Amino acid sequence: MKDFFKTYRSDIPAGLVVYLVALPLCLGIALASGAPLFSGVISGIIGGIVIGFLSDSKLSVSGPAAGLTVIVFSAIATLGSFEAFLLAVFISGIIQLVLGYVRAGVIGHFFPTSVITGMLTAIGLGIIFKQIPHAFGYDIQGIDAAAFDERYGHHTFSELYYMIAGILPGAVIISVLSMGILFLWDTKAIKNNPITKLVPGPLVVVVLGVALNEMFKATAPVMALGSTHLVSLPEMSGFSSLIDELRFPEFGAITNPEVWVVAFTIAIVGSLESLLSLDACDKLDPEKRISSPNKELKAQGWGNVLAGLVGGLPMTAVIVRSSANVNAGGKGKLSAVFHGALLLLSVLFFAPYLNYIPLSALAAVLIHVGLKLNKVSIYKSAIKQGANQYIPFFATIIVILLTDLLKGISFGIVVGFIFVLRSNFRSGITLSNVGNNYMVQISRNLYFFNKAQLRRVLQYLPENINLLIDGTEVDFIDNDILATIKDFCETAEQKGIKVTFMQSETAVLPMFRKKAA
């Protein structure tokens, strides 16, 4: 505990900055997820205080994640109630705890980079498409956006058409000016200024949105936004009223297989996003401390168990909050915990003021997040790396947008694996010759899927030759490959083919040694 407060001089100011970044994002992500706005703040509180204490990382900050909005949005609609969804969040936390205790923190290393990049890009596009209607004042979804599809039969893209009839000039002005502020805050002039760099862009947007709407009320009422277009948090008078506002899981839905599908989806995707964010945060750490991925999974598990029990959204380690913490000079865990405490104080005492925030301002914040996940440089980089990278990348994006996140990731992994197989088929075995001397060179470890290529090479060798099979660059060859070579050697003498073997010192290929002897 002494070490916890050791860096308080740096962590308290950093925690304040993280709070100012996190508050509008907690509200905005809940809005994008089709969940009660209060649930986003609950997750921010738990992510700060609980996971802040339990995580091995000194600088990582957790909370509701933009990367899970698509999953949450579709899951609430599929399960039919927010309470059934909370049960899935609770179960996902238990799954993460199990993953942490079985030391599964390495799972993040088994997903192709092209698929992960495609996933994040698709999430960004999904956020943009979902928030454009709110930016134009088309808030028919209210705080329960998940019911929108069922009640009206619309989908993400048809919404963009129907919103034309519901455009509000006041909302458009707020969102356009907000976007301008956010882009301005990304410029070097603002980032390098010692004063403005301490003020988060999302906070400026929220204050601007409130000020503009109040000005509309005073000078041009026709432009003003009503309560249905503003944040709607429950107003509380203390801890007792906070307890009254909590929502609890529907444990009776535990026999619903869809609940388990959602739980495993949240656990896997959330764990992956947390591990990626943790790795990124460690790289940003000026002291280059290395955090335990297994402890992170346990911390996220406890956080999601608690979130599911009291009505919060699923959470992950979030690189936006974490990078804000690093940039603000945070050095220890206290900054994350302090930001969570400030969120708690906000809902207890300042909810009436938060309810002045226009949804169009939050939409601008989220669209800006989505655009950051869709930088042109990301697409250029994927294309530049070749078909084996950009095809899984684009395949993942398209399938996620047209179906859901889990199907998109699964499809992207399958496509990526096909390219791995294709690469092995193409370059694992080469044939060369000088006159009557032939060489089959094995340039990488061979597995069963290389058998067809090897058979073709051996089948078309001419008779009466000297053949060298060179395995010096590999230390493992699958039994199917060894059996293929053995079958060839049994008939080689009949064709006048003299076979010689070469292998590396570390290889364990007894059949090679036997033939060579």
How high is the pLDDT of residue 214?
94
User: In this predicted model, which residue has the larger pLDDT, 83 or 517?
Assistant: 83
Minimum mean pLDDT among 58-72, 148-162, 165-179, 377-391: which range?
A: 148-162
Residue pLDDT, tens place only, 206-258: 899 999 999 999 999 999 998 888 887 787 766 777 787 889 999 999 999 99
- The arithmetic mean of pLDDT across residues 291-310, rounded, is 95
How high is the pLDDT of residue 137?
85
Helix axes 113-135, 8-33, angle to 10 degrees: 70
Strand partners, 430: 441
Q: Which of 491, 488, 483, 500 is nearest to 446 (CA)?
A: 483
C-alpha to C-alpha distance for 48 and 55, rounded to whole angstroms: 10
How high is the pLDDT of residue 419?
78
Yes or no: say if 490 and 474 are a contact pair by the CB < 8 Å rule.
no
How high is the pLDDT of residue 156?
59
Place of tokens 């290395």: 290
Residue pLDDT, tens place only, 105-139: 877 666 777 887 887 788 778 778 878 888 888 87
C-alpha to C-alpha distance for 468 and 437, rounded to whole angstroms: 8
Residue pLDDT, tens place only, 52-108: 999 999 999 999 987 788 789 889 989 999 999 999 999 999 999 999 999 988 776
**Strand, coil or helix: what is 478?**
coil
How high is the pLDDT of residue 355?
86
How high is the pLDDT of residue 94?
97
Percent of the chain residues past pLDDT 70, beyond the cut: 89
The DSSP call for residue 443 is -
C-alpha to C-alpha distance for 324 and 322, rounded to whole angstroms: 5
Reported pTM: 0.67
* Cα 135–chain centre separation: 24
How high is the pLDDT of residue 515?
43
How high is the pLDDT of residue 151?
39
How high is the pLDDT of residue 423?
66
